[in-house]
Amino acid sequence: MSKITVNLATNLKEKPKDQSKLGFGQYFTDHMFIMNYDEGQGWHDARIVPYGPLPLDPSAMCLHYGQEVFEGLKAYKTQDGRILMFRPDQNFKRLSMSNERMVIPAFDEEFMVEALIELVKIEKDWIPTAEGTSLYIRPFIIAVDPMLGVHPAHHYLFMIILSPVGSYYAGGLAPVNIYVESNYVRAVKGGLGFAKTAANYAASLKGQAEAELHKYSQVLWLDGIERKYIEEVGAMNIFFVIGDELVTPALNGSILPGITRMSVIEIAKQWGMKVSERRISIDEISAAYDKGELKEVFGSGTAAVISPVGHLKYNDKIMIINNGKIGAVSQKLYDNLTGIQWGKLPDTFGWTVEV
Ligand code: PLP
Ligand code: COI
């Protein structure tokens, strides 16, 4: 792999002044990473260049058949001025898995961690420092062959863009409302659900639009075949505290294997909590609620961090979880996870990578 060439921007943008109003994914930094793939040459010309629009042929395959993959991770500035990234190796590992499913050529994961470190170093002044903020990192790969036949492409772009962000949900850590989606499905076994690829998000947009219309944050997806078993939420994995047990749907091929999910499981197990990854039906959750055993529900994700669910609607039934307030397990997980990410707590797992 060649080294990375750097072409610095001459005009730097003005950074957002009010870090309490960053929202999610609205601002982009001064530079981006690009690398080309051409059949016969492999991945080449890794470079950091000024952020800007791409020249893309209107027939570029990604625009027509959705051959693309992406990732999401964050960098944080600690109180003592260090810059930490959370488990970047896992994101590039998952991207490799998505590539394999989407027939996109393999890349060198370790090189990409190095390239990311170099990009984040250049953009270090863009990392916000207000409570709950971070620099969101979006690596992605698109197929760029100017060709309308339906085949895997021979030419790709691998890019990384960066965005200073606040919380994903406008209410921050305030519990969100979700409902069980009964009309549409997000993914099916044998399909793309486990891969982080645009098509899964395209499939979710209709449900998301209807949820927003009814003042819900997102929908809870059920399995695409029996429409019975819980899968995940639009942009996060889902956890339930039933009695004293932490339960989450087992990875089954149609759920995104979340890195936050994996970390939550590892933290809870370290606490000695009973954790179970298994098939779980919506009827089981509804019955646990009736028996008073459903103590907490929360989502996990890079953008969503730990997001408590205060109101869960299933057909005509509304379940108010923990009186609509964040529960003790969710709060403790949020504190522990963000404590490690923001360098406030010792990282005994060795998850953070210093830039
Ligand atoms: N599920 C979906 C559909 C997502 O988009 C995300 C976000 O990346 C997650 C789950 C959580 O994954 P992670 O914890 O790796 O961010
Ligand atoms: C993430 O949490 O990184 C995501 O990709 C979720 C969403 C913004 C698509």
- Residues 99-117: pLDDT tens digits? 999 999 999 999 999 999 9
Cα–ligand 1 centroid distance for 7 (angstroms): 32
In the predicted model, is pLDDT for residue 352 greater than 80? yes
User: Which of these CATH numbers, 3.90.650.10, 3.20.10.10, 3.30.70.890, 3.40.50.980, describes 176-342?
Assistant: 3.20.10.10
Residue 236 beta carbon below 6 angstroms from any ligand 1 atom: yes
**Closest Cα to residue 112, out of 157, 160, 74, 70?**
160
**Per-residue pLDDT tens for 198-230?**
999 999 999 999 999 999 999 999 999 999 999
pLDDT of residue 234: 86
Token pair 């850590």 in the structure block, residue:
173
Positions of CATH 3.30.470.10 in the chain: 5-166
Q: Which ligand is closest in space to the CA of residue 304? A: 2
Please identify, in words, the CATH class of the domain defined by 5-166.
Answer: alpha beta
Residues of the chain with CATH 3.20.10.10: 176-342
Mean pLDDT, range 181-197, rounded to an integer: 95
Residue 266 structure tokens? 């590892």
Mutate to test the pocket of ligand 2, among 302, 305, 307 (most ligand atoms within 8 A of CB): 302
Beta carbons of 144 and 74 less than 8 angstroms apart: no
User: Is the minimum distance from the CB of 260 to ligand 1 under 6 angstroms?
Assistant: yes
Query: Residue of the nearest CA to atom 9 in ligand 2?
Result: 235
Going by pLDDT thresholds of 50, 70 and 90, the confidence category of residue 308 is very high
- How much distance in Å is there from the Cα of 261 to the middle of ligand 1? 8
Distance in angstroms (rounded) separating the CA atoms of residues 203 and 19: 32
Pairing of strands 237-242, 68-70: unpaired
- At residue 167, the pLDDT reads 84
CA 71 to ligand 1: nearest atom:
8
Place of tokens 């390239």: 115
Å from CA of 260 to ligand 1 middle: 8
Residue 34: name the closest of 4, 74, 68, 65 by CA.
4
**Counting atoms of ligand 2 from 1, which one is nearest the CA of 24?**
8
The model's pTM is 0.96
Dist CA 241 CA 232 (whole Å)? 15
245-267: pLDDT as tens digits: 999 999 999 999 999 999 999 99
Closest atom, ligand 1, to C-alpha of 302: 16
Q: Which of 47, 136, 134, 54 minimizes the C-alpha distance to 91?
A: 136
- pLDDT at residue 2, rounded to an integer: 56
Whether residue 297 has pLDDT greater than 80: yes
- The closest residue, in CA terms, to atom 5 on ligand 1 is 235
If you average pLDDT over residues 293-311, what whole number do you get?
95
Q: Flag whether pLDDT at 285 surpasses 60.
A: yes
Q: Indicate the pLDDT class of residue 170, thresholds 50, 70 and 90.
A: confident
Pocket lining: 232 vs ligand 1, CB cutoff 6 Å: yes
Q: Is 237 in the pocket of ligand 1 (CB under 6 A)?
A: yes
The residue whose CA has the least distance to atom 11 of ligand 1 is 301
**pLDDT of the residue at 82:** 95
What is the pLDDT, as a whole number, of residue 22? 94
Ligand 2 pocket, 301 CB below 6 A?
yes
Q: Does ligand 2 come within 6 angstroms of the Cβ of 119?
A: no
Q: Which helix (H) or strand (E) holds 212?
A: helix 198-213
Q: What is the DSSP string of 25-51?
A: S----SEEEEEEEETTTEEEEEEEEE-
Q: Mean pLDDT, to the nearest integer, of 303-318?
A: 94
Ligand nearest to the CA of 74: 2
List Cβ neighbours of 226 (8 Å cut-off, separation of 6 or more).
none
Q: What is the mean pLDDT of residues 149-161?
A: 97
Using a 6 Å cutoff on CB, does residue 23 contact ligand 2?
A: no
Ligand number with the minimum distance to the CA of 303: 2
pLDDT score for 174: 84
Query: Which pLDDT belongs to residue 168?
Result: 85
Mean pLDDT taken over the chain = 95
Distance CA(96)–CA(195), nearest Å, equals 10
For ligand 2, atom 6, the nearest C-alpha belongs to: 235
